[in-house]
Structure 1
Amino acid sequence: MITIELAALGGLAVAAFLAATLLPGGSEAVFVGVLALHPELGLAALIVATVANTAGGMSTYLLGRLLPRKEVPARLATVQRWGSLSLLLSWAPLIGDALCAAAGVLRLNWLACLLWMAIGKGLRYAAILWLMG
C-alpha cells in the first residue's frame, strides 16, 4: 500500500528530476510543500530531492556529451576553466542546466561532475530545509 508520505516523496522525486532537465519548472515549491505538509520527512525529502535533481542534471550532462564535439565555443571558456567545480552552481536558475550541458560537451569527468553537482544541489535543498526550520 502506498502511503501519503511515500506518494509525496515520489511526487517530489519526479518534480526534482524534471526541474533539472531542459524542461522548464522548479522543484523548490514542491519541496516546500512536502515539508509544510509532512515536516517529519525533512531528511528523507532532502535526500530524495538531491538524488533526483542530481540525476536530472546528469541526464542533461549526458545529452551534452552525446553532441558531436568540434570546437569548444568561446562561451564555454568559463566552464572549461573551472571544470567540474563550476557545477556547484548547477542548481541556479537559468544557468544551471546550461552548466550541466556544457560539462557534457566539454567531456568533463562524469564522476567529478556528479560529485560537485550533488553537493551544490544538496546545499540548496538543505538551505531551504533550514529556512523552513
Structure 2
Amino acid sequence: MEFALNELLRTLLAWLSLPEVGLPALFAVGLLAATILPFGSEPFLLAYVTSVPEMLWPAIWVATAGNTLGGVVSYWMGAGAHGAYGRWRAKRAAITRSGGADHVAERWIRRLGPAGLFFAWLPVIGDPLCLVAGWLRLSFWPCVAWMALGKFLRYAAISWMLTLVL
C-alpha cells in the first residue's frame, strides 16, 4: 500500500513538473491560496522548483501573478461588500459603529494606505488586508503593485532558501 502511494505521488509530481501543466497549476494554486481558502501555495512552489530547478524564475513569476490576482479578487470582494453595506445602511435608520477590535485593521490600513498591502503575503492577516483595502476603496493600482512586490519577495526568498538546502 505504501509503495503504491509513493509511486502515485511520484507520478503526480512528474506530471505537474511538466511546464505546460505545472506552471498553470502553480498559477491556479497561487490564486486560490490568496483568497479566503485556508491553504498556502508555498509547498506546491517548492515541489515544482525541486522537480524542475531550471524553471525557478518562471515559477516564481507565475506564482506571484496567481497570488496577486487572488489578492485582487479579495480586494474586489471588499469593495463589493462596501457597496452592498452602503446600500443596506441607506435603507435603514441610524446604525452605530462600536469602534471595537474589528476596526483595528481598518485604522491600520488607513494609516499605511496602499503600502500596507506589502504585507498581504502574511498568513492569516494578508487576505483580510486585501479585503479591507477594497472596503476602504484605496487606490487600486498602487494596492496591486504593493501586493505584487510583497508576494514576489516572499516567493523569491522561499525559493532562495530552497536552493541553499539543495
TM category (shorter chain) comes to over 0.9
Residue 55 in structure 1 maps to residue 69 in structure 2: yes
| Deviation readout 1:69-115 (Å, 9 max, x if unpaired) | 55796221001110110111000000000000000000000000000
Distance in 1, Cα, partners of 2:65 & 2:103: 31
| Deviation readout 1:11-60 (Å, 9 max, x if unpaired) | 11111000001111110000000000000100100110001100000000
Structure 1: unaligned runs, 5 residues or longer: none
Higher helix share: 2
Q: Secondary structure at the match of 1:21?
A: coil
Superposition deviation, residue 4 in structure 1: 1.6
Aligned residues: 131
Distance in 2, Cα, partners of 1:25 & 1:94: 10
Q: Which residue is 1:132 aligned to?
A: 162
Distance in 2, Cα, partners of 1:47 & 1:74: 34
Q: What's the TM-score, normalizing by structure 1?
A: 0.93
Distance in 1, Cα, partners of 2:144 & 2:19: 28
| Among candidates 30, 35, 43, match of residue 29 of structure 1 | 43
Q: What's the TM-score, normalizing by structure 2?
A: 0.75
The percentage of aligned residue pairs carrying the same residue is 39
Given residue 49 of structure 1, which amino acid in structure 2 is its aligned partner? A
Q: Which residue is 1:12 aligned to?
A: 26
Which protein is bigger by CA-based radius of gyration? 2
Which portions of structure 1, spanning 4 or more consecutive aligned residues, are displaced by more than 2 angstroms? 68-75
Distance in 1, Cα, partners of 2:80 & 2:48: 35
Counting only pairs closer than 5 Å after superposition, residues 44-83 of structure 1 correspond to structure 2 as: 44-67=58-81, 68=83, 70=86, 74-75=103-104, 76-83=106-113
Structure 2: unaligned runs, 5 residues or longer: 1-16, 87-96
Q: Secondary structure at the match of 2:123?
A: coil
The structure whose RCO (Cα within 8 Å, separation 6+) is larger is: 1
Given residue 108 of structure 1, which amino acid in structure 2 is its aligned partner? L
